[in-house]
Amino acid sequence: MMSLLELISDEGWLLDQLSVIMVLMGLLSYVMLRFIRVPYGRYANSVFGPPVPVRFAWFIQELPSLTLPILYTLWYPEQSTASRILLTGFICHYIQRTLVYPFLIRGGKDTPFASFALAFIFCCYNGYLQSSYLCNHAAFSTGWSQDPRFIIGLLLFVSGMFINIYSDHILRNLRKPGETGYKIPRGGLFEYVTGANFFGEILEWTGFAIAGWSFPGAAFAVFTALVLTSRAQQHHQWYHEKFEDYPKSRKILVPFLY
């Protein structure tokens, strides 16, 4: 059997393999979602397991992506400035996703157990991947926090987070208290694209990948882009099927382009 030191020394190789697998999972998800709709929210049904209350599902499934980087930061306090900033950004995203977003949901449908379980597993997977890399394996140069790639990446990350949160705010406020139906989103980037919230999250993790300039970060950005592009395509089709007056000029995901 390998000794503990040998296992630790091989973790960098393991993180690379996990990054490759994440990209492959994203490609597989993109292909599968061309034929089936993700069983959550408006597409939820009993075929994918018993229902889980939506607020509970969101809180629990996102929790590993919040707790793991916090624990890694406590266990490995000696980090570079760049690693500390990136971990802080990651934690801030998941504070909002775990402790804020679920409790603002209005009238959301219960989540099928299969969707909940897969999301929980992914958050464990990615929480470990990003936290372990940034705490133990990132080798940033002394001046990396002043590098144009780091600065541009952070600007994209913050911009994407703002777009994502503001777009969720618009979607949430389409419903008055007690309402459960769907309406055409108006305002913000929804004037230009169907998937404004998805565009924001893709921009966010693209910025994270550029700022970190790493394989794990890039793998997460690619996975996010593939999965959320599929969801935006499905939502765009659904809106056109449900609403005859849905704006014909509205793109799917990227303003003016796609």
pLDDT at position 105 is: 85
Task: List the structure tokens of 233.
Answer: 């395509």
- Please list the pLDDT of the chain residue by residue as tens digits (258 residues): 455 555 556 788 999 999 999 999 999 999 888 877 666 656 555 566 788 898 999 999 999 999 999 999 999 888 899 999 999 999 999 999 999 999 988 777 888 898 899 999 999 999 999 999 999 999 898 889 999 999 999 999 999 999 999 999 999 888 776 666 788 999 999 999 999 999 999 999 999 999 999 999 999 999 999 999 999 999 999 999 899 899 999 999 999 999
Q: Which long-range contacts (CB under 8 A, 24 or more apart) does 91-94 make?
A: 91/66, 92/161, 93/161, 93/204, 94/62, 94/65, 94/66, 94/69
pLDDT at position 186 is: 93
pLDDT at position 174 is: 86
